[in-house]
Structure 1
Amino acid sequence: MNRSSVSLAALLAVLLATPAIATDETPPAAAWASIAQLQQRMDAGMLDSRQLTQQFIARIQQIDRSGPTLRAVLETNPDAMKLAGVIDARHRKAHGPLHGIPVLLKDNIDTGDRMLTTAGSLALTDAPAPRDAALVARLRKAGAVILGKTNLSEWADMRSDHASSGWSGVGGQTRNPYALDRNPCGSSSGSAAAVAAGLVTVAIGTETDGSIICPASMNGIVGIKPTLGLVSRSGIVPLSHNQDTAGPLARSVADAATLLGVIAGSDPRDPATAEADRHATDYTRFLDPDGLKGKRIGVVRQLAGNEPNADRVLEQAIATMKAQGATIVDPVTLPHLSELNAPESTVLQYDLKHDLNAYLATRTGLKVHTLADLIAFNQREATREMPWFGQQLFEQAQARGPLTDRAYLDAQAKTKQLAGPEGIDAALAKDHLDALLAPSWGPAFVTDLVLGDHIVSGDPNIGGASQPAAVAGYPSITIPAGWAHGLPVGIVLFGAKWSEPTLISIGYGFEQHRHAWQPPQFLDTVDGKPQLAGSP
């Protein structure tokens, strides 16, 4: 695997020269600065992209590869410093909204460079992808530095129903920077943990159901799961063309909005994006501090009541929203919520086999070409690939037939109708609502490689509100909202198709008055000691 050739000693010197945590007297260090703050420093000649990239690589070495050892980053781009130098040679004002900003990518997103794209599996380590994913091309055009690839739940958590989120055969177990024995959730585990730990300003994750919303919430950051078809999926290792999408992870709504505006848009390689150019925009236009004023927001109590800490934070969030002029309709019933699990599972199993086989056909230089090949590979490499859990979901998907099967067509039609027109749309229309509100999830659970995750979307013991928007293909956003025993807890807002502007406006208005984000302390456990010298 490629690794950065930059001198570790030199990088650590750069890192240690900058305070790790912002204070009231000094501007935030690069680790915690926003896109706007970093670009202001570049414009003023106080910073350039090479220096910024070098600082992040050093911080990855200090925190991710040693020290707390988060295992969030699988690989740093060996060409990152060269790319940053090219960007520095350009005139800032002539280029895009991410000029000079390093970005990390979940390692199921293709890059046509020397880095690998593995989906966390050793089966995909023989050769890199042949070309950039469409969203990567957009990032490069906007002036971003592709800093590296992040760890994830292997195969985006679709190999086993007994898995530990954030574990992959390539990268091992990602850890939550707020308490290292806690789970980062998944499957965009490394992307979320990296942003939370200040290893990068922003990152890209992907979601089929919960894989942006859950890790963002449990790592105390902002995550946006866009409308299906707003962001191209070409060049992304797939699970389901009915639900897959990529989206931004950031420490603020403003940075997430900036990133979404860059990656959104139509792409001829992904027919689902045919309407994207009609809706894609500069989402920073909707960053209104008074974004809550006059909005009608419905509380979906069916998605609450599962976890006391999450419920307490939800009540605090509702109070903030009311104080800022929102009308809260409480409760709101989301029809058919209990009817989604079985047909969703059927759709995902069929799609996994079909879509993954199609993707593997685009990857030259690999020894695996089908899902059946992957199953056989895992059996041969069981010691490395299956030390903790198996591949039940792979085997169930392999047993499914073609997408013309009546069982598939019926389940697909049912999920879309019940989650969308008869679900979210009906709830919004009934009470003339702008958005729906629920707890994102409870606080992070303890990582358990033996028993697997203690969480499923809709789990009566933990909760989770990603499913309705994920199945419908509608947008959702999670925002930090409070704390439980030193662990972050978020709220999720979701709404109609293409309603990203409304959700961003509400989310930003909430964020600007709630001020819930805090940097992690890298505790060994919730009541333990920091595992990084100088952490707050």
Structure 2
Amino acid sequence: MLDWKELTIKSSWQNPYVLSATPCGSSSGSSIGVAANLVTVSLGTETDGSILCPASFNSVVGIKPTVGLTSRAGVIPVSPRQDTVGPIGKSVSDAVYVLDAIVGFDRNDDATRDASKYIPRRGYKQFLNASGLNGKRLGIVRNPFFTSGRGALLTQAYEDHFQTMRQRGAVLIDNLEIANVDEILNVATSGEAAALLAEFKLSVNTYLKDLVVSPVRSLADVIAFNEEFSDLEMIEEYGQDIFLAAQATNGIGEQEKAAIANLARLTREGFEKLMVVNKLDALVTPDAVAAPVLAIGGFPAISVPAGYDDDGVPFGVTFGGLSGSEPELIQIAFGFEQATKVRKPPTLLP
């Protein structure tokens, strides 16, 4: 969501499958590099959708870990509540092996202290089970997640995938609803935007202040730098509205506290209740359309390639779960991948 991503390189990334199609973001480079076979694996960072979305649109596997499962130390921050670092690979197994390498306690990131309790003793690769769908309870929320206009081919593809999941032993609970989902998906009404702006200013100021060598030490310095070198930073073309909005905030005041409290309420009454009441192992959604639902609660998810539309643009399926549910999500994602094996190399079509 940030101007660092949007400011100067917005138009320089291309989808390796269809060059004119969106690669999504903001970890677009991480996903493109893997998809185009420039690298075997990579890391992405997500505050809200920035691993899941580019993974879907570039036909790679992206794992968004539970917040705190991986350290954010050294990463340009947005929100300590929502930021997470995760692996991207061409296969579930590639991504899982990287996940095993990057999880764990880091004294430079307090969130890793609590989340380390979720790490299984023998790591995550033990859950790479081709029969991982068997017995899993998967929830489907049709409205609003499966009502986008990407065509009949995608609609049928997801129905076919649902049938494959059933054939592999999964129990699908269909036509579920998430309480207040429209509010959750609207960053203004949910309070997510207000919370992130204030958290970003506080977090990035601390990050910049602690750098050993840097010409800028605060968000205000960054804004001034961009204005001084506006031609190089293409301010006239791209602006820095998000930076300016964040700079206008004044810490975590009453408005921000209310926003964060509302996000917690929406999480309890929405996704958490859906998962617990229906005894679900995962929520199944297309692409990254449910990213805000998972982001505001710090929940994990895995995006797996699911096919290609009429123009050859990739799409994915995302499995999301409650905090610490990576073992179940890995079993489900790997089982789905092995049952479908839809990924193919990029075509570099115009």
- Match among 180, 199, 202 for residue 354 of structure 1: 202
Amino acid at match of 2:180: H
Amino acid at match of 2:292: Q
The 5-angstrom pairing of residues 232-251 of structure 1 reads 232-251=71-90
Alpha carbons 2:7, 2:239 under 8 Å: kept: no
Give per-residue Cα distances to partners, 1:11-58, cap 9 Å, x unaligned.
xxxxxxxxxxxxxxxxxxxxxxxxxxxxxxxxxxxxxxxxxxxxxxxx
- Match among 310, 323, 334 for residue 167 of structure 2: 323
Can you give the 5+ residue segments of structure 2 that lack an aligned partner in the other structure?
none
Shift in Å at residue 414 of structure 1?
A: 1.4
Shift in Å at residue 499 of structure 1?
A: 0.3
Aligned-partner SS, 1:274: helix
Alpha carbons 1:295, 1:327 under 8 Å: kept: yes
CA distance in 2, matches of 1:159, 1:313: 35
Structure 1's 347 and 198: CA in aligned 2 closer, same or farther, altered over 3 A? same
Amino acid at match of 1:517: R
- The question of 1:288 aligning with 2:113 is answered no
Shift in Å at residue 500 of structure 1?
A: 0.5
CA distance in 2, matches of 1:221, 1:522: 15
Aligned-partner SS, 1:184: coil
CA distance in 2, matches of 1:194, 1:316: 29
Give per-residue Cα distances to partners, 1:173-226, cap 9 Å, x unaligned.
111111112221111011100000001110000000000000000000000111
The 5-angstrom pairing of residues 38-437 of structure 1 reads 157-159=1-3, 169=8, 173-281=12-120, 282-301=123-142, 302-309=144-151, 310-340=154-184, 341-342=187-188, 343-385=191-233, 386=235, 388-403=237-252, 405-419=253-267, 421-437=268-284
Shift in Å at residue 428 of structure 1?
A: 1.0
- Match among 304, 323, 340 for residue 479 of structure 1: 304
CA distance in 2, matches of 1:337, 1:388: 34
- Match among 322, 327, 342 for residue 501 of structure 1: 327
CA distance in 1, matches of 2:259, 2:155: 32
CA distance in 2, matches of 1:429, 1:292: 19
Alpha carbons 1:231, 1:245 under 8 Å: kept: yes
Shift in Å at residue 316 of structure 1?
A: 2.2
Amino acid at match of 1:389: Y
CA distance in 2, matches of 1:482, 1:170: 28
The percent of aligned pairs where both chains have the same amino acid is 40
CA distance in 1, matches of 2:212, 2:266: 40
Amino acid at match of 1:303: F
- Match among 439, 463, 470 for residue 286 of structure 2: 439
Structure 1's 196 and 168: CA in aligned 2 closer, same or farther, altered over 3 A? farther
What is the number of residues matched between the two proteins? Answer: 339
Give the TM-score, by structure 1 length: 0.61
CA distance in 1, matches of 2:97, 2:176: 31
Q: Which residue of 2 aligns with 1:468?
A: 293
- Structure in which a larger fraction of residues adopt helix: 2
CA distance in 2, matches of 1:248, 1:495: 17
CA distance in 2, matches of 1:249, 1:387: 34
Shift in Å at residue 170 of structure 1?
A: 6.6
Alpha carbons 2:66, 2:115 under 8 Å: kept: no
Aligned-partner SS, 2:129: coil
Shift in Å at residue 387 of structure 1?
A: 5.0
Alpha carbons 1:311, 1:439 under 8 Å: kept: no
CA distance in 2, matches of 1:380, 1:317: 53
Shift in Å at residue 168 of structure 1?
A: 5.4
CA distance in 2, matches of 1:249, 1:202: 6
Aligned-partner SS, 1:418: helix
Give the TM-score, by structure 2 length: 0.93
CA distance in 1, matches of 2:132, 2:273: 24
CA-atom RMSD, angstroms? 1.6
Shift in Å at residue 475 of structure 1?
A: 0.3
Give per-residue Cα distances to partners, 1:139-168, cap 9 Å, x unaligned.
xxxxxxxxxxxxxxxxxx3129xxxxx665
Aligned-partner SS, 2:70: coil
Alpha carbons 1:167, 1:173 under 8 Å: kept: no
CA distance in 1, matches of 2:9, 2:208: 18
Give per-residue Cα distances to partners, 1:448-496, cap 9 Å, x unaligned.
xxxxxxxxxxxxxxxx221111111000111001110211110111011
Can you give the 5+ residue segments of structure 1 that lack an aligned partner in the other structure?
1-156, 161-165, 442-463, 525-536
Alpha carbons 1:206, 1:212 under 8 Å: kept: yes
Aligned-partner SS, 1:472: coil
CA distance in 1, matches of 2:242, 2:32: 26
Shift in Å at residue 350 of structure 1?
A: 0.4
Look at both structures and tell me which one has the larger radius of gyration over its CA atoms: 1
CA distance in 2, matches of 1:175, 1:465: 24
Structure 1's 167 and 523: CA in aligned 2 closer, same or farther, altered over 3 A? farther
CA distance in 1, matches of 2:251, 2:270: 28
Amino acid at match of 2:218: T
Give per-residue Cα distances to partners, 1:62-103, cap 9 Å, x unaligned.
xxxxxxxxxxxxxxxxxxxxxxxxxxxxxxxxxxxxxxxxxx
Alpha carbons 1:167, 1:174 under 8 Å: kept: no
Structure 1's 171 and 488: CA in aligned 2 closer, same or farther, altered over 3 A? closer
Aligned-partner SS, 1:198: coil
CA distance in 2, matches of 1:418, 1:194: 36
Shift in Å at residue 308 of structure 1?
A: 3.2
Structure 1's 522 and 387: CA in aligned 2 closer, same or farther, altered over 3 A? farther
Which stretches of structure 1, 4 residues or more, deviate above 6 A after TM superposition? none
